[in-house]
Amino acid sequence: MKIPINLKAGSVDKEEKKDVIIGIDLGTTNSLVAYADGEETFVIRDTSGSNALVPSILHFGKDGVVVGDIAREKLISAPERTIYSVKRLMGKSYQDLSSLKDSVGYNVIDQDAEALVKVEIDGKYYTPIELSAEILKELKYRVEKHLKATVSKAVITVPAYFNDAQRQATRDAGKLAGLEVLRIVNEPTAASLAYGIGLSKDEEQTIVVYDLGGGTFDISILQIQNGIFEVLATHGDTQLGGDDFDKVIIDYWLSKSDISADGLNNNKSLGQEYRTEAEHAKKAISTIGSYKTSIANKELHIDAETFASLSYDLIAKTINACKLAMKDAKLSNEDIDQIVLVGGSTRMPIIKSAVSDYFGQSINDSLDPDEVVAIGAAIQADILAGNRKDLLLIDITPLSMGIETVGGLMDVIISRNSKVPTRAGRQYTTSVDGQKNLKIAVYQGERDLVEHNRKLGEFNLTDIPPMPAGIPKIEIKFILDADGILTVKATELRSNVETQMEIRSAYGISEEDMARMLIDSLQNAESDMQTKGLLESINEANNILLAAQRFIEQNKDALTIEQISKINLLKEDLLATTQGDSKDVIEASMQAMNLYTAPLAHEALDRNIGKALKETKM
């Protein structure tokens, strides 16, 4: 039994506090974590309080794995050990990834074309599940640090189009990170919840969720009735996002310079500078309408009008996907009650107006588009924690599921856009006299021939009593649960011989592997914590070094030569400690720097205030 003691009041609390269940938006580019307390929702931010996004990037250094901004800094210097876009690898086989594997800087392994891919780093192999688990561990760590309590339960969001293997992989990653995943929720459903849509039992609404992130685009149409969410249709493009808008700016600037696209590809640092400046330009256009810069002594400029005409095709692609989704859902624009925007790229005014113009109505953009999905996940978590009135979320399966029949044909059992949870079955028979076994191969996809669809797994119904061909009655049942996870059952009805399979056996991660990985991660937990502490100190030291340099530059007229050289000496000392592996030594050196520079900084502040006062008097 647990006895809750209120340390401040020195009393025993009457009511035991409910567990906090966290909501996680596990994104391709960035991830976020949030929680709710029955009323308010809180997004976990960094120590500066401004940034909630944790880049979904991992770096394998000599001392262990780091996640987030620290890892992002290594993208250029150590691309083969810095992993990004793991979400694109989830639940995928090597065959699925023919285009992606050449475009990333790390090594995607082809162990067996049918099996899940792995990533090779320094001769070790990691599944996308293990890699995603590292991101989830970082999010768990952040929220635990904030709450000063452990958390063990989560709701994780996935794109509505994620198939069964991808959902299962996400669930497994949560488990590996030490989280019991109570629900896998579709991202558009979470976004609607964030806007409070569907929280009242009587409302009936049809919602469009337009999600344009850094690298992917999705459009979903949801119908909410009596507190039940149903995804009517989804469409999208997994290779379209904010990066493409940066690219049109780069191409435009290249056309104004004498550098070719190949020339830029061959010069990594120049390429990076162009990418960074193009993204700055895009964001500046969103707020101030134009942008000027210079790269390699070349003056570059772009205004909102030029950007709008360059982006026309990209935006048209997204609007076309909206049209297709509306057609799938058999709806017209008048049927749409609300439009919700998700993803950083929807901050672009040209996107807001294109979407609003197409649907002929205003849009919901009052929440931070980067945070809506995490906020919605936290609200769903809160509902599951029993803090809100019961709401049921119903989703759809975006791809048909069926089995292989004679001639390699796909026989669909649960069709695309069916509501989940659902179950469906069909009867089959044998084609040979005395046939004892029947192979059942399960596929997902829309093509008529199974070879063009995705295989989810296969199993055998054995021990069918000998009967003439055509006599056995074999029922195949598909049971799809609320998370979109499939169980297939085969029963010979005359004899009651039965076999069943959960898709995880073919494409998920086995319980033994899971146990091994958990033991590994527990064994390494202490050294992981130490590494993390050291890396945090190095990061802080680097910030102090930068600040000290800036301080010298800004105050060089007021500082004496002795003061400048003393600061430079302290800088050298601090820089040297960051090469070592002692957190304590780095911290002592940072303290020495602070001790010496704090009074100087105060003097500088007084001087600046004095100067400002004088100027206002004049």
Q: Which residues are catalytic?
A: 25, 87, 187, 211
Stretch (H or E) spanning 279: helix 268-287
Residues that bind ligand AMP (CB under 6 A): 27, 29-30, 213-214, 242-243, 279, 282-283, 286, 343-345, 347-348, 370
| Cβ nearer to ligand AMP, comparing 68 with 214 | 214
Q: In degrees to the nearest 10, what's the CA dihedral of 415, 416, 419, 420? A: 80
Task: Please count the other Cβ atoms lying within 10 Å of the Cβ belonging to residue 561.
Answer: 7
Give the start-end residues of each E strand in 102-201: 107-109, 118-121, 124-126, 153-158, 180-186
Please state the φ and ψ torsions of residue 187, each to the nearest 5 degrees. Answer: -55, -45
User: What's the CA gap between 105 and 80, in Å, rounded?
Assistant: 5
| Cβ nearer to ligand AMP, comparing 53 with 181 | 53
Which burial class, exposed, middle or buried, applies to 141 when counting CB atoms under 10 A from its CB (0-12, 13-18, 19+)? Answer: middle
For strand 153-158 and strand 180-186, is the pairing parallel, antiparallel, or unpaired?
A: parallel
| Cβ nearer to ligand AMP, comparing 181 with 278 | 278
User: What's the CA gap between 75 and 211, in Å, rounded?
Assistant: 26
- Least distance (Å) from ligand AMP to the CB of residue 284? 8
- Least distance (Å) from ligand AMP to the CB of residue 369? 7
- Least distance (Å) from ligand AMP to the CB of residue 242? 2
- Least distance (Å) from ligand AMP to the CB of residue 577? 35
Which burial class, exposed, middle or buried, applies to 165 when counting CB atoms under 10 A from its CB (0-12, 13-18, 19+)? Answer: buried
- Least distance (Å) from ligand AMP to the CB of residue 246? 7
Nearest to 86 by CA among 47, 133, 44: 133
| Cβ nearer to ligand AMP, comparing 160 with 224 | 160
Distances from the Cα of 324 to the Cα of 158, 220, 221, 396, angstroms: 21, 11, 11, 17
User: What's the CA gap between 553 and 557, in Å, rounded?
Assistant: 9
| Cβ nearer to ligand AMP, comparing 181 with 350 | 350
| Cβ nearer to ligand AMP, comparing 304 with 604 | 304
Residues 6+ apart with CB under 8 A from 588: 577
- Least distance (Å) from ligand AMP to the CB of residue 212? 8
User: What's the CA gap between 612 and 40, in Å, rounded?
Assistant: 42
Residue nearest to ligand AMP (CB): 242
